[in-house]
Amino acid sequence: MSSEKPGHDDSSIWIPESIDIDPIVEDHVSRNNKNDGPPLEESMVVKVPSDAALNKSISNVRSRNGTSQGHCIKMERLQSGAADRGLKGLHFLDRTVAGKKGDAWKSIEKCFVQHAIDGKISKEKFGICVGMGAESKDFAEELFEALARRRNISVANGATLDQVRVFWEDMSNKDLESRFQLFFDMCDKNGDGRLSREEVEEVIVSSASANKLGNLNQHAAEYASLIMEELDPDHKGYIELWQLETLLREMTSSEDGTTSTGATVPRKYRTPIIKFVSRASKFIEDNGKKVWVITFWLAINLVLFIWKFKQYKEKGAFEVMGYCVCFAKGAAETLKFNMALIVLTMCRRTLTMLRESFLGRILPFDDNIKFHKLIAPAIVIGTLIHVVMHMTCDFPRIASCPKQKFLTILGPDFDYNQPTYLGVVATVVGITGIVMVLIMAFSFTLATQYFRSVIKLPSPLHHLAGFNAFWYSHHLLIVVYILLIVHGYFLFLTKEWRKKTTWMYFVVPVALYAIERIHPFFRGKDHQASVIKAVVYTEDVLALYMTKPSGFKYRSGMYIFVKCADISGFEWHPFSITSAPDDDYLSVHIKASGDWTKELRNRFAQACVTQTTQTRRGSLLRKETKVHSICFSLSCFRYPKIMIKGPYGAPAQDYKKYDVLLLIGLGIGATPMISILKDLLNHMKIGSPQHDSLQNNHSDDIAESGKRGLQRAYFYWVTKEQTSFEWFKGVMDDIAENDQDGIIDMHNHLTSVYEEGDARSALISAIQKLQYAKNGVDAVSESRIRTHFSRPDWKKVLAELSSTHQNSEIGVFYCGNPSLAKKLKTYCEDLSLKSSTSFHFHKENF
């Protein structure tokens, strides 16, 4: 290789001398992944605008150069545009480590001191020292050996601090040629300047391990052969630096491209007043229903408190107990109201029916869980005021009141017997009150997030913590409602039954709740579902495919409750429906994250028979576990009995109201979005039995909402495990095959893989593109939808949508980590103010 000529920066590429490059016509064929960005800049050397042209460009270069001799072809430097921007990103250190030179070295030096033994750091600790994670251990060790070979340094007993400084400078070198040579040297274990198939395979294995790609690791030999086939068409048995560089350059440059985020520029000349009005208008538009409901609820509480406060201020009891009794009774009235209202928020069937009526336009039924959590603190506050006023003020004043005054004013209410303090506490009212407070305190405490997710009890008591503790303790509140009615019946200061209003508050909500819980057992609304297929995936995910009960109708985005009587006869757990409404089956995907779900997964795993099935595309296999009625010679294994209850309404079911959809799912949070995608997919299958009915329903929804109708759907699925893509591989392949008009734009993001440009993922990117160009299958997800590395830039994603779909209503549906939900909601609100596009953010709540 010739050295770099003076006057040239690192924005250049190596090319063979005197080769003829055939002009390549840009391929405008639509690709399955529509996120490839705009066309690349023109290069003085070669232009590869699509994956289909990739093999041709590489083959043309190989066939005209170096086919007669085994010598290394002389290279020279030419300036390049987009071709080298990708390789400029080829780096060996994480962005957090490769910061300012002085600061970055200080962190490495500090880590060296912590892990060094006798002033030297071992090969095994080198990765930790330079900021690579434990999963990159094998990759870091190979890099360590390559750095030592380059400098002719013996590191059998480890490297000193000065040597590590030299290694670090080599890794962080800004010169393109130096970085690429280092990568090649790392691959070239024997230092002969050539890469054999075995050496390529070893690097693939270490890269797959660093990126937690178990499936790709298993096919390392296959992918090594794929690379050799592309770069060594003459079967010499090796590839050289310039060949590997050409491959990676084509890969990185095809990912590059200066994509405009589309300009969502804020409106000019916006004054502070106009800005405030715009924000207020947008807030009211997005939160209007919640604002007026909460305001109305607070007003009712205030009116009830004041009414009861004034009522007791005019009674004779006020002369004995003063304002204490007024506060106690005012708080008690709000307590009765809120205890009744909180039951209504759990009447899911009733709320699901009401959200389909005109009330759905004025009441935020999707926020019933949030409202439930808002009422709970109000109940706590009311209880504290009521109890504190009675125990510290009212009861002592009753006991210490002059006897004559007591008999004159309160004698009839206490049968003319003045009680002591303990006497008042020992009455039915006192005892029921104390028991209710204890149960409520216990139940409310176990319902907090801290006790549900943080507190862990040792075995065998671990079943008493987490969701189980919340579930069973909440059912103790049934006792509280019974005691509350008894408590209200035996009140001291009220004798007429018409004025004992506690039961009046509860009669309607409790009746509705009781009907929902009891009535289905007699009318068959809790369906027993027959499992026709079960898939147990490696990442503790269970997919259940069940027969659809007669008359069971639902919309995409809804959820159901599932019960397994073999595990527990009382526990119901909510799961999003993953099948489309017109599918002839009902499906859910369950992540085994708690005691109940883990037990369910284990029971179905025992009842399943593993069989290997061939995928429709590509040469890769996947394991699928199916449920069959398997009879053994002596006995027949019985499948777990599954009951379902629902369906229940959720925000995602209203997706047809928007012009454009942005569906975002994190991990198992993709489940409600999959049902929507399947429903949209049915629209595309012209001639299918579902198409006409779905089309008519879609038209009705458009007419009701007055919108233009759904034009485009974007699905972003972010997961940290490669095996997660197995869950919905069939759906992804169906979309790639049937979405001829590009209605659905899918983006799979795998966060375990280092970002494009990182040396640990460089060969992974190359394999991914080659496999897709040759077989139409993504090497990472093993589907026909490409996988992106690292997390999406959500601000950029939303900005691009705002620019692409101006004057549109975009529904953003999210299911995942609450922390990201806050950021997405903020981005949506900001962009709605700064552009003509209106974003409507919805988060799934169970």
Q: Is the peptide bond before 549 cis (omega within 30 degrees of 0)?
A: no
pLDDT at 95: 53
**Which tens digits make up the pLDDT trace of 427-459?**
999 999 999 999 999 988 888 877 766 666 666
pLDDT at 453: 66
pLDDT at 818: 85
Q: Are 745 and 712 within 8 A, CB to CB?
A: yes
Say how far apart CA 582 and CA 586 lie, in whole Å.
Answer: 10
Q: Are 246 and 72 within 8 A, CB to CB?
A: no
Q: Is the peptide bond before 647 cis (omega within 30 degrees of 0)?
A: yes
Say how far apart CA 393 and CA 401 lie, in whole Å.
Answer: 12
pLDDT at 94: 66
CA 70 to chain centre: 52
212: tokens are 């937690």
Say how far apart CA 138 and CA 123 lie, in whole Å.
Answer: 10
pLDDT at 361: 82
Mean pLDDT of the chain: 76
Say how far apart CA 522 and CA 524 lie, in whole Å.
Answer: 6
pLDDT at 530: 85
Burial class (CB in 10 A: 0-12, 13-18, 19+), 227: buried
Nearest to 556 by CA among 649, 693, 482: 649
Partnered with residue 560 across adjacent β-strands are 575
Print the SS3 string covering 240-258.
CHHHHHHHHHHHHHHHCCC
489: tokens are 């019946």
606: tokens are 């025992």
Print the SS3 string covering 798-843.
HHHHHHHCCCCEEEEEEECCHHHHHHHHHHHHHHHHHCCCEEEEEE
Strands 744-750 and 787-789: parallel
Say how far apart CA 242 and CA 45 lie, in whole Å.
Answer: 14
Sign, CA torsion 197/198/202/208: positive
Partnered with residue 559 across adjacent β-strands are 576, 648
Question: What is the chain's length?
Answer: 846
- Can you point out the beta strands (E) in 685-798? 712-719, 744-750, 787-789
Say how far apart CA 140 and CA 182 lie, in whole Å.
Answer: 13
Report in angstroms the alpha-carbon separations of 546 from 221, 535, 582, 585, 772: 39, 12, 14, 6, 34
Amino acid of residue 96: T
| Three-state secondary structure call for residue 750 | strand
CA atoms within 13 A on the CB side of 337: 18
585: tokens are 């089956």
- The residues, any chain, with a CB within 8 Å of residue 480's CB and separated by 6 or more, are 436, 439, 440, 443
Burial class (CB in 10 A: 0-12, 13-18, 19+), 265: exposed
Amino acid of residue 788: H
For the chain, the C-alpha Rg in angstroms (whole number) is 34
pLDDT at 135: 78
pLDDT at 524: 47
- The residues, any chain, with a CB within 8 Å of residue 823's CB and separated by 6 or more, are 794
710: tokens are 């759904």
Nearest to 784 by CA among 618, 561, 546: 618
Nearest to 255 by CA among 408, 481, 43, 40: 40
Say how far apart CA 581 and CA 691 lie, in whole Å.
Answer: 12
| Three-state secondary structure call for residue 287 | helix
- The residues, any chain, with a CB within 8 Å of residue 644's CB and separated by 6 or more, are 526, 527, 529, 546, 549, 560, 561, 562, 563, 586
- The residues, any chain, with a CB within 8 Å of residue 744's CB and separated by 6 or more, are 677, 680, 681, 713, 714, 715, 735
Collect the ranges in the chain with pLDDT lower than 50: 1-88, 96, 254-269, 521-524, 610-637, 687-705
Amino acid of residue 3: S
Say how far apart CA 254 and CA 48 lie, in whole Å.
Answer: 8
140: tokens are 């870091």
Strands 559-564 and 585-591: unpaired
Say how far apart CA 330 and CA 218 lie, in whole Å.
Answer: 70
Partnered with residue 648 across adjacent β-strands are 559
Amino acid of residue 270: R
Print the SS3 string covering 166-210.
HHHHHHCCCCHHHHHHHHHHHHCCCCCCCECHHHHHHHHHHHHHH
Strands 531-537 and 541-547: antiparallel
- Backbone angles phi and psi of 51, in degrees to 5: -65, -30
Report in angstroms the alpha-carbon separations of 556 from 37, 194, 380, 582: 31, 55, 37, 10
pLDDT at 393: 92
Say how far apart CA 126 and CA 166 lie, in whole Å.
Answer: 13
Burial class (CB in 10 A: 0-12, 13-18, 19+), 97: buried
Partnered with residue 716 across adjacent β-strands are 664, 747
785: tokens are 């939808």
Q: Are 57 and 48 within 8 A, CB to CB?
A: yes
Print the SS3 string covering 85-151.
HHHHCCECCCCCCCCCHHHHHHHHHHHHHHHCECCEECHHHHHHHCCCCHHHHHHHHHHHHHHHHHH
Nearest to 212 by CA among 751, 667, 757: 751
- Can you point out the beta strands (E) in 242-376? none
795: tokens are 């601000």
- The residues, any chain, with a CB within 8 Å of residue 747's CB and separated by 6 or more, are 33, 35, 714, 715, 716, 717, 788, 792
pLDDT at 251: 58
Q: Are 139 and 210 within 8 A, CB to CB?
A: yes
Say how far apart CA 244 and CA 232 lie, in whole Å.
Answer: 10
